[in-house]
Amino acid sequence: MRSLATILWLGIKELRSVLTDTVLIGLVLYSFSLAILAQARSGSQEVRNASVAIVDEDRSPLSRRIAGAFLPPLFRPPAFLAAREVLPAMNAGRYTLVLDVPPHLARDLLARRHPVLKLDVDATAMVQAGLGAGYAQQIVAGEIAGYLARGRGTGPAPVTLVSRIAYNPNAETAWFTSVMGILNSVTMLAIILAGAAIVRERERGTLDHLLVMPVAPMEIALAKIWANGAVILTAVGLSLVVVVRGVLRVPLAGSLPAFMAGTAIYLFFATAVGLYLGTVSRSMPQLGLLFLLVYLPLAMLSGSNTPLESMPPWLSAALQASPTVHFVAFAQAVLYRGAGLDVVWPRLVVIAGIGGLFLILSLRRFRLAAKAETGG
């Protein structure tokens, strides 16, 4: 009970220190609010309001039918250009796609000839160009098939393929990137706050006071873990409710308390890593450099940006030892598919086990640092 009381009061001291650090608090607020909104709304991977122009040299019902099939919200209403206006308009960046409908298109199709339509694409708008060109081809092919079927009296296709997308039926990027942004912010801030807590004590000279007090290194470490973890856990909950659900209107299929419980276990690992880096670093610049070496591989290879299945088999197998990979898989299972703790508990056990290993390493480094500071 005495140790628990010590951990509690040391944690309250750490909370006061964090809450009075305006830079760290500003970083936490930005990372879980404006940064999530920017990532969700600026990193869109779907076509929205692509600018289209059509050179209609056929002027037939078919060409008008094709032009009328480019509809919002994927495309803006198409503009009509003359052939001589295409190159200046593309060079000026006014249109992403320009469809050139050749003369006598409808007549050649009915005569079973093979006319050629030209689609000019501005590839500097990468997402709009790649996906937009594919949508444009589907639109043209579908309208031509419908026109020929009506003209020749052919029946419908014998087989119809219907696709159903689970959880995210409209394949909106924001539904995925917003939650993944929160997961990356959890890893980033947990390491920074916990590491900065140790370095800040050393730079202010208060570490010497802690080391001569009748407290154990385990008590100091656990106090910093729960205090910094509580700040981040509160920010995660507010971000999910206010930003993801409220502003972005992203439905969360699973249990929010279950996700928060798993996040608390992951914060145990991430803050333990931060403590370890804090015991190694002698200053904030050193902590920043070590943070980059640790955080970037954890975030880039976590599965939040690139699926593990697309990585080399040896790498995806090795990454099963990364708690960040298990945390991302846990979050996707709970928030996207509504899985319960009875399904995801093995991943939480792995995260807790590796977090305990880093805590042991941190305590060992902390004892070495304590001997160096006290000269013992």
> Measured at the alpha carbon of residue 321, what is the angle toward residues 317 and 323, in degrees to the nearest 5?
125
Inter-axis angle of helices 34-42 and 173-204, nearest 10: 150
- What is the spatial distance between Cα 367 and Cα 216, in angstroms, rounded to a whole number? 9
From the list 189, 324, 196, the residue with the least C-alpha distance to 265 is: 324
Q: Where are the alpha helices (DSSP H) in the chain?
A: 2-19, 22-31, 34-42, 61-68, 86-91, 105-110, 126-152, 173-204, 206-212, 217-238, 256-280, 284-300, 313-318, 323-331, 341-374
- Under DSSP, the state recorded for 158 is S
Could you tell me if 81 and 55 are in contact, meaning their C-beta atoms sit under 8 angstroms apart? Answer: yes
Inter-axis angle of helices 217-238 and 173-204, nearest 10: 150
Task: Output the pLDDT for position 152.
Answer: 58
Tell me the pTM.
Answer: 0.78
Helix (H) or strand (E) holding 120: strand 118-121
Owner of token pair 């990027």? 173
Could you tell me if 173 and 47 are in contact, meaning their C-beta atoms sit under 8 angstroms apart? Answer: no
Question: For the chain, which ranges sit under pLDDT 50?
Answer: none
Distances 138 to 42, 84, 145, 282, 345 between C-alpha atoms, Å: 26, 26, 10, 60, 44
Distances 124 to 77, 178, 283 between C-alpha atoms, Å: 21, 26, 43
Task: Output the pLDDT for position 52.
Answer: 92
Task: Output the pLDDT for position 273.
Answer: 93
Fold of 52-152: abc type-2 transporter like fold (3.40.1710)
Task: Output the pLDDT for position 238.
Answer: 95
Question: Is-cis flag, bond preceding 346, omega within 30?
Answer: no
Owner of token pair 């509504």? 338
Residues of the chain with CATH 3.40.1710.10: 52-152
- What is the spatial distance between Cα 1 and Cα 23, in angstroms, rounded to a whole number? 35
- Please name the amino acid found at residue 250: V
- What is the spatial distance between Cα 350 and Cα 327, in angstroms, rounded to a whole number? 10
Helix (H) or strand (E) holding 119: strand 118-121
Task: Output the pLDDT for position 235.
Answer: 95
Task: Output the pLDDT for position 157.
Answer: 57
- Under DSSP, the state recorded for 319 is G
Could you tell me if 304 and 336 are in contact, meaning their C-beta atoms sit under 8 angstroms apart? Answer: no
